[in-house]
Amino acid sequence: MNTIDYVINFLHNIELSWRILIVTIICAIVWRIMLTTFYRLIRKKQFGKKEKYKNYSISILGIILLACIGYGFYEPYTIKTTFTKISSNKITKPIRIVQLSDFHSDPTIRVEDDLPEIIRKLQPDLILLTGDYINSEAGLPVFQKSAKEIAKIAPTYGVYGNWEAWVYPGVKVFNNTGITKLLSDVLLLEIKEQKICLAGGGIDDSFDKIMIKLEEHKKDFRIFLNHFPEMWREADGRADLMLAGDTHNGQIVIPVFGPMIRMVRQDKVFYPHGLQQPGKEILMYVSRGLGMEGGAAPRVRFNCAPEVAVIDLLPENYK
């Protein structure tokens, strides 16, 4: 491991509180120096050439910092579509899945109204949702209006996340949207004359029965939905693909430093955004989500735009 790799690895593994502290200190230092420089420039003091360059460099650094903070409040409104291909000998004709996760809808509309048109153009065969839909009950109409339009595009299935299970257990977020909620269910779907086995459930559900049923469908391509990426352990060897969310990929991704907030649950592992193979016999796609953590958390994303994830299931050797 070279020095740069060592530094990156170190930064990626230190505790959240330390990461926040380090970034805050860096920002405070830059900010302080910038203010001092501006003050000195305003006073029109005569500078030497060397000092002049120093002052301008610090001012530019400060402006970049301000621009980054401003952009952090703008990025939540910019959707990025990502494309991932998965080949399998269980697939005979290409199937396009769109995964949506972590809407975290607030009363103010962000990306919700733009989503249906973006998804319609992608022509998915299946739309799958992996939890955390609202930040408040006032955000429910915003989510449901969008969800209703999305469910008209293709068969849409979803599971609940921790916000539905722990914060708003009484709110039926999928009501009148046309989305089918998976509650420890295993469904056998027929898409383009081939069977797709779809399973999923909430974060507190027991999956023992689901896993037995999935084992019975070994010949079919099996998809497992759960909000928490950690649940891949339950599905390893029983599902071909798992879709998850939850982490938002940290929401703020600082170049070199990586994701700021690394959400970890019971197995203390941070699962980054994208396709990965956490076990021997399972692929997992972790969405970075569409919205932002609720409560008092600032509604900020940086270098981690809201994601519409397109996953193309393809036959082996498909060209």
Query: Rule CB under 5 A: which residues touch Fe ion?
Result: 102, 132
Closest by alpha carbon to 164, among 149, 186, 182? 182
Rank residues 19 and 227 by Cβ distance to Fe ion and give the closer one: 227
The amino acid at 62: G
Contact 127, 98 (CB under 8 A): yes
- φ, ψ for residue 13 (rounded to 5)? -110, -5
Q: How far is the CB of 38 from Fe ion (least distance, A)?
A: 39
Rank residues 132 and 307 by Cβ distance to Fe ion and give the closer one: 132
Closest by alpha carbon to 290, among 152, 159, 126, 106? 106
Rank residues 154 and 292 by Cβ distance to Fe ion and give the closer one: 292
Residue 242 pairs in a beta bridge with: 224, 284
Q: How far is the CB of 75 from Fe ion (least distance, A)?
A: 16
Q: How far is the CB of 293 from Fe ion (least distance, A)?
A: 6
Q: How far is the CB of 227 from Fe ion (least distance, A)?
A: 8
Coil/strand/helix, residue 302: strand
Which residue, judged by CB position, is nearest to Fe ion in the bound state?
A: 132
Q: How far is the CB of 202 from Fe ion (least distance, A)?
A: 14
Q: How far is the CB of 23 from Fe ion (least distance, A)?
A: 21
Rank residues 151 and 203 by Cβ distance to Fe ion and give the closer one: 203
N- to C-terminal Cα distance for the chain? 38
Cα–Cα distance measured from residue 130 to residue 160, given in angstroms and rounded to the nearest whole number: 7
Rank residues 68 and 263 by Cβ distance to Fe ion and give the closer one: 263
Contact 282, 292 (CB under 8 A): no
Q: How far is the CB of 203 from Fe ion (least distance, A)?
A: 11
159: which residues sit within 8 A by CB, 6+ positions away?
129, 130, 131, 181, 182, 200, 201, 202, 225, 226, 227
Rank residues 251 and 303 by Cβ distance to Fe ion and give the closer one: 251
Rank residues 124 and 289 by Cβ distance to Fe ion and give the closer one: 289
Write down the residue that tokens 């027991």 correspond to.
Answer: 206
Coil/strand/helix, residue 21: helix
